[in-house]
Amino acid sequence: MIDSHTGGEPTRVILDGGPDLGTGPMAERARRLADEHPDFCRAVLGEPRGQVAMVGALLQPAEREGTVTGVIFFDVDAVLGMCGHGSIGLGVTLAHMGRIGLGEHQIDTPAGAVRLALKDAQTVTVTNIESRRVHAAREIDVPDFGALRGDVAYGGNWFFLVDPSPLPVEAGNIPALTDFSIRVREAANAQGAVGEKGELIDHVVLLGGGDAPGVHGRNFVLTPDNTYDRSPCGTGCSARLACLAADQRLAPGDEIVQESVIGSRYRLSYQPGTSGGVIPRITGQAHVMAESRLIFTDADPFRAGIAPSSPGTSPQAPHG
């Protein structure tokens, strides 16, 4: 396995040893990972082997011809439709392994085919799946806060985006931002501020202004495992681009810089999609950090990771 980080957000690429997810569309294989192998996700990403915020990228045989690899992204608690920082990390990792060179490549994700352009050893432009806004300025009632308006948008995952954030989007405020966005996500899902087919919100984006010259804004992004994205979140930026385009606040091809709550940056632009949404382009940098092999033995009481309720008791850790 190979670990990298993209703007501070870690990606663990799992080259082999994962569960057999069969063949067929990547979305079906992702459902099998979520339904049948949650212990795998916790064992490889959770403590003590993983770290908070780590996203896994489980390599799969490709679905489409001409694709470098299939991939399923997941965090400790959820299988993701797509992952922007993980795609940048995967591109840099594949280059590190000598599997791709500079230029254009395609990967298969559960959300669809995604293009990666490797610009140099660290820099990747991701051309994401078509992203769209489905509700504008939808009002929800957040307990202990009150009425809040936000947009619901899809960028490969489902987002509730609040612009502007009622709390300052600053690194010193991360615990309060986390607590608030968990309540926002619960309220959005409970009050039906969800996707067209009832898809639940899995991420929340709180938007603040950027203070550095040339920076369009800074964001805080809550992820499904209740941590925050250290990077500006590629799928969150895709959802944001869909909202900016729908509000005619950004023209096709114009580039903006989005900063994360810890100050890492992506360059963003879009082209119109064929179904009324946008095709986002996200450019960021990743760095390979480690090449290693995880070891799970029956004697290790924490071979399945540290479960929130009962440490060391989960029976189905991977072996070998």
Q: Give the footprint of ligand PYC on residues 52-71 (CB under 6 A).
A: 55
Amino acid at 209: G
Q: Is residue 285 at the binding interface for ligand PYC, with CB under 6 A as the rule? A: no
Q: Is residue 111 at the binding interface for ligand PYC, with CB under 6 A as the rule? A: no
By rule CB under 6 A, what count of residues binds ligand PYC? Answer: 12
| 41 flagged as catalytic | no
DSSP state of 289: E
Report d(CA 219, CA 122) in Å as an integer. 23
- The 3-42 site mask, x for binding ligand PYC (CB under 6 A), equals ------x---------------------------------
Q: Which is nearer to ligand PYC, 70 or 234 (CB)?
A: 234
Q: Which is nearer to ligand PYC, 231 or 269 (CB)?
A: 231
Residue 303 gets the label, from left (phi > 0), alpha (psi -120 to 50) or beta, of alpha
| 83 flagged as catalytic | yes
The least CB distance from residue 229 to ligand PYC, in Å, is 5
Of the residues 131, 219, 235, 258, which one makes contact with ligand PYC according to CB under 6 A: 235
Cis-peptide into 164, omega within 30 deg: yes
The least CB distance from residue 312 to ligand PYC, in Å, is 27
DSSP state of 7: T
Of the residues 10, 81, 84, 150, which one makes contact with ligand PYC according to CB under 6 A: 84
CA dihedral of 96, 98, 100, 101, whole degrees rounded to 10: 90
Strands (E) in the chain, as ranges, are 2-6, 9-14, 55-60, 69-74, 103-109, 112-118, 123-127, 132-142, 146-154, 158-162, 203-209, 217-222, 256-260, 265-272, 278-291
Of the residues 59, 76, 83, 184, which one makes contact with ligand PYC according to CB under 6 A: 83
User: From the CB of residue 251, how many other CB atoms can be counted at a distance below 10 Å?
Assistant: 10
Q: Which stretch binds ligand PYC (CB under 6 A): 161-169, 205-213, 226-234, 268-276?
A: 226-234
CA dihedral of 189, 192, 197, 203, whole degrees rounded to 10: -30
Q: Is residue 234 at the binding interface for ligand PYC, with CB under 6 A as the rule? A: yes
Tell me the catalytic residues. 83, 233
Q: Which residues bind to ligand PYC, rule: CB under 6 A?
A: 9, 55, 80, 83-85, 223, 229, 231, 233-235
